Amino acid sequence: MWGFSTENFQRDPDDVRKLFGLFQRNLLEVIQRRGESEKYGIRVRFLGRTGLFPREIQNLFREVEKLTSDKKDYQLNLLLAYGGRAEIVDAVNAALKEGKKEMDEESIASHLYTAGIPDPDLVIRTSGEQRLSGLLPWQTAYSELYFSKKLWPDFTKDDFLDALKFYENAKRRFGK
C-alpha cells in the first residue's frame, strides 16, 4: 500500500503536520493493539525514504517493524516517503557506494526498497485515475493493472473480488 509519496512533502506544511499526526496516532494504535498482528500473523514493513519523517515517527516505524518481524502469514508493505524514481536513484546510489562500476537488472533489483519481496502480480488503483503515478516502476513491469473509479475508503470486499476476477481472467505472458 502506498500512503505518502516523496512529492507529498511539498504540500501545505499544515496539511503535512496533520498527516504526520495521523500516522503517529495510527502507529501508536497498532503498537497498543499488537495482539491483532499476532493473531493474524501480519508482518509490517515501511519502505521508502522514511528518514524524511520526524524522528518520533521513525522510531514508531522501527517499533512496529520489530514487534511484527517474526510474523510469517501475511506481509503488509507500506510505501511512505516513496517515489518510484527516487527508489531507483537510491538503488543505483547504494550500489555505487558499494563500489559497483556497472549495473545490471539483478544488481538494481537487489538494492531496491523491495529487495527480497516478489514483484506484484496485480496492482489495484482506486480513485478513477488510470496511471501508476510512480508506483513501483521497476517492480510493476509485468503486473496486471486494475483501475477502479471508487475512492479507497469506498472500495468494498465486492470490489476487491471483482479485481481478483479480472486478474483470474488475465492472460499473463511476461513479454513472451
Residue 145: inside a domain, yes or no? yes
- Examine residue 8 and state whether it is found in any structural domain, yes or no: no
Domain that holds residue 133: 119-171
Q: Is residue 155 part of a domain?
A: yes
d(CA 170, CA 130): 18
How far is residue 52 CA from its own chain's centroid?
16
99 in a structural domain: no
Residue 130 included in any domain: yes
162 occurs within a structural domain: yes
Cell numbers 494504535 correspond to 29
- Domain total in the chain: 1
Is 45 within the bounds of a domain?
no
- Where does residue 49 rank: exposed (0-12), middle (13-18), buried (19+ CB within 10 A)? middle
Instruction: Say what the pTM is.
Output: 0.85
Per-residue pLDDT of the chain (176 residues; tens, 9 = 90+): 998 899 999 999 999 999 999 999 989 988 888 766 678 888 999 999 999 999 999 999 999 999 999 998 999 999 999 999 999 999 999 999 999 999 999 999 999 999 999 999 999 999 999 999 999 999 999 999 999 999 988 999 999 999 999 999 999 888 77
CA atoms within 13 A on the CB side of 156: 2
